[in-house]
Chains A and B, each alone.
Chain A
């Protein structure tokens, strides 16, 4: 059994889901959680339910905003007082920035962006994608301990039925040390939708949309799931949508995590522009439409009845 520390970052006072994914996967190990700042008893309870033994709240006036140096100094000081074998964190923007620096304070190694792992006899062995996911490799750590691991969010999934941990929460007086790179300001993302080429979720309408007004139902669904709306060439040529929205060979090539094609038949030039999407959902009345050959989930039915139901179901799922 290994002694593991899981660093969690907070989003609006909540622990990020990736922390719970990691804790679940660590069932059978001894896992503590470290957080910088304060979290409420409800969040401690969530962590305990997923197996956290101790929750260390590192507090310092200098740590109200993230800084790679401040966070790394504070965590290193704390980790040195314990005997952890492993330190885990989510491969989030912060995790990716922080962990290499923190690991180097121990001259230790970091396996980054791991998508699966096992703790065989207390030793970490993971899997991570390389070459933009074109191949996978087994990753192991060697050299001074603790060893560091960052986990890609949404990769492990939640583990059910984990034995709860004690969830003892305690404050730790932290030392941020010298901070030379300081955040002066945070500029919130513009409210405008992300560009198709960068969107994580895309909803596309085809010729079956019939007119520009009907795109309203796609916009409504997109708002619920944080998607950007696109269109097939047929829809653009019919004047339902501007060319800037076109997905396909002569439009934009996209690779979102989720692509929902509504009333798109799946001409080869369209498929060429979206086939590397991670998960494809297609809605079409024609069960033989080519789009179904690329779809992970195909729904044979009329988009004008299916899309509103989808929107409702997404609302339920996301608690909106």
Chain B
């Protein structure tokens, strides 16, 4: 057993962290305050190869492993969890193509993302169903030489900026899971109405909107796999994406701890630094313990993915534990900062707001526990 990263992985981490510290952290508060989409920073990250880590080498990608992907994800989330949601959404949208697409589709859809800066959206959630993804209402009907998409999607990351949508719908609601199918849609197609940007508690720089599809024509060759393959593609995508989403919680938690340690050493109360008070020491110790455990889960879930071993159970452990820990750690960071922590002048309240969303999206912490229980009790 070897717990160490390779020299290459350490270099990847250094590079991504340098980018996070120099290009993301200095702007994070401003983008949060104004809810500004980080186009320039996103593009710069893409130029450095930090985006679309999931694209295989044969389609022009860097050929990163899942472990490499979570190393990059953690570092970018360290810079800003909100911006990282926009960055990560590209991977979430492209993964179904990597997993379920044909060779021709991969060339057609993935390679352009390696040649120029492009943004993608993963369109699964609907107004009426979030966690119950099997209850999808959006319809994909056979229109002869094309598919016709009708329905409404909600909470779609990057929706206002995307060059590509991956849309999940059903060919027949009566078929339940077996009717779910995935198509790649050009956002410029007529009949697509993109809603206004949601005013969110956190991740305010990421662009989140509803999308309405009104008789949207999609070429036949844009369906991933066969009609009805959507559910399996989605589930397999989650096995790949959960470690990544968990890594973003890890990055946010690490930043909250680093800030807390720094502040606890600097701020004096009762004539000594906060760090000398046992109450603060215990909170810091708890942070360190949870981050270490979360990192091991995140790495293991990604490693299983790289070994081609089913990681559903461990990936859920990683996603739930990392995001719940991130929430606790960022909350404690605000506590350590005291009154200053509650002020927008200091960076920790933003971390606390950002942490909350990671417990909710990509499978809530409760859904993760259902997955764990299902795996454990089967």
Contact = CB atoms under 8 A, between A and B. Distances in A.
B345 interface: yes
Interface size class of B (residues with CB under 8 A): under 10
A295 interface: no
A249 B345 contact: yes
Contacts of A269: 340, 345-346
A272 interface: yes
B345 A272 contact: no
Interface in A234-290: 249-250, 268-269, 272
B266 A249 contact: no
A123 B10 CA distance: 47
Contacts, number: 11
Nearest to B344: A250
B36 interface: no
A197 to B, nearest CB: 14
Interface string B13-38: 00000000000000001000000000
Nearest to B343: A269
Contacts of A233: 345
Contacts of B345: 233, 249-250, 269
Interface string B305-346: 000000000000000000000000000000000001000011
A53 to B, nearest CB: 53
Question: Which size class do A's interface residues fall under?
Answer: under 10
Contacts of A250: 29, 345
A250 B267 CA distance: 17
B328 to A, nearest CB: 25
B333 to A, nearest CB: 15
B338 to A, nearest CB: 10
B255 to A, nearest CB: 16
Contacts of B340: 268-269
A249 B346 CA distance: 8
Contacts of A249: 345-346
A30 to B, nearest CB: 51
B284 to A, nearest CB: 19
A269 B345 CA distance: 9
Interface in B255-300: 266-267
Contacts of A268: 267, 340
Interface string A202-237: 000000000000000000000000000000010000
A137 to B, nearest CB: 26
B316 to A, nearest CB: 39
B337 to A, nearest CB: 10
A272 B267 CA distance: 10
Nearest to A269: B345
A272 B346 contact: no
Interface string B220-256: 0000000000000000000000000000000000000
Nearest to B262: A272
A268 B267 CA distance: 8
A269 B267 CA distance: 10
Contacts of A272: 266
Nearest to A233: B345
Contacts of B266: 272
Interface of B: 29, 266-267, 340, 345-346
6 contacts: A233-B345, A250-B345, A268-B267, A269-B340, A269-B346, A272-B266
Interface of A: 233, 249-250, 268-269, 272
